[in-house]
Structure 1
Amino acid sequence: MTATTLTRTVHPAVAAARPRVSMAETFSQTMTLAWRAVKKMRRNPEQFFDVTIQPILFTAMFAYIFGGAISGDVAAYLPLMIPGIIAQTTLTACMATGVQLREDMEKGVFDRFKSLPIARIAPLAGPMTADLIRYGVAACLTFGMGVLMGYRPGGGFVGVFAGWLLAVIAGWSLAWLFTWFGTIARSAQGVQGISLMVMFPLTFMSNAFVPVESLPGWLAAFVRVNPVSHVVSAIRDLANTGTVTGEVGWALVGCVALVAIFAPLSVRSFRRRM
Structure 2
Amino acid sequence: MSTIASPLGDSAIMLRRNFKHTLRNPTAVFNAVLFPVVIMLMFVYLLGDAFSVGVKYVDYATPGMIVLAICYGLGSTATAVNSDMTKGIINRFKVMDVSRGAVLTGQVIASLLNNVIAVAAIAGTAFALGFRPSASPLDWLGVAGMVVLVGFSIGWFTVALGLSAKSVETAGLATVPLIMLPFLSTAIVPAGKMGPGAKQFAEYQPFTPIIETFRGLLTGSVHAGDAIAAIAWCVGIGVVGYLWAIATFKKRA
TM-score by length of 2: 0.89
Give 1:249 deviation, angstroms. Answer: 2.2
Quickly say closer, same or farther: Cα 1:204–1:44, change in 2 above 3 A.
closer
Report how many residues are paired: 252
Whole-Å Cα distance in 2 between the matches of residues 155 and 145 of structure 1?
A: 18
**Equivalent residue, structure 2, for 1:77:** 57
**Equivalent residue, structure 2, for 1:134:** 114
Whole-Å Cα distance in 1 between the matches of residues 71 and 30 of structure 2?
A: 15
Within the candidate set 43, 53, 56, 1:62 is matched to 43
Paired AA for residue 239 in structure 1: L
**Equivalent residue, structure 2, for 1:263:** 242
**Backbone CA RMSD of aligned residues:** 2.3
Tell which structure's C-alpha radius of gyration is larger: 1
**Equivalent residue, structure 1, for 2:16:** 35
User: Any conservation in 2 of the 1:162–1:239 contact (CA below 8 Å)?
Assistant: no
User: Any conservation in 2 of the 1:81–1:208 contact (CA below 8 Å)?
Assistant: yes
Whole-Å Cα distance in 1 between the matches of residues 76 and 148 of structure 2?
A: 15
Whole-Å Cα distance in 2 between the matches of residues 158 and 66 of structure 1?
A: 32
Residues 114-162 of structure 1: per-residue CA shift (max 9 Å, x gap): 3344443221111211222210111111111111111101114543343
Give 1:200 deviation, angstroms. Answer: 4.3
Whole-Å Cα distance in 1 between the matches of residues 97 and 241 of structure 2?
A: 23
Give 1:262 deviation, angstroms. Answer: 1.6
Quickly say closer, same or farther: Cα 1:70–1:122, change in 2 above 3 A.
same
User: Any conservation in 2 of the 1:51–1:93 contact (CA below 8 Å)?
Assistant: yes
1:206 aligns with 2:185: yes
Paired AA for residue 104 in structure 2: L
Whole-Å Cα distance in 2 between the matches of residues 51 and 252 of structure 1?
A: 23
Whole-Å Cα distance in 1 between the matches of residues 91 and 3 of structure 2?
A: 22
Whole-Å Cα distance in 1 between the matches of residues 179 and 109 of structure 2?
A: 24
TM-score by length of 1: 0.83
Quickly say closer, same or farther: Cα 1:143–1:157, change in 2 above 3 A.
farther
Give 1:22 deviation, angstroms. Answer: 4.4
**Equivalent residue, structure 1, for 2:233:** 254
Within the candidate set 120, 125, 130, 2:100 is matched to 120
Quickly say closer, same or farther: Cα 1:273–1:207, change in 2 above 3 A.
same
Quickly say closer, same or farther: Cα 1:250–1:265, change in 2 above 3 A.
same
Mind listing any 5+ residue stretches in structure 1 that lack a counterpart? 1-20
Identical residues among aligned pairs (%): 24
Whole-Å Cα distance in 2 between the matches of residues 200 and 52 of structure 1?
A: 14
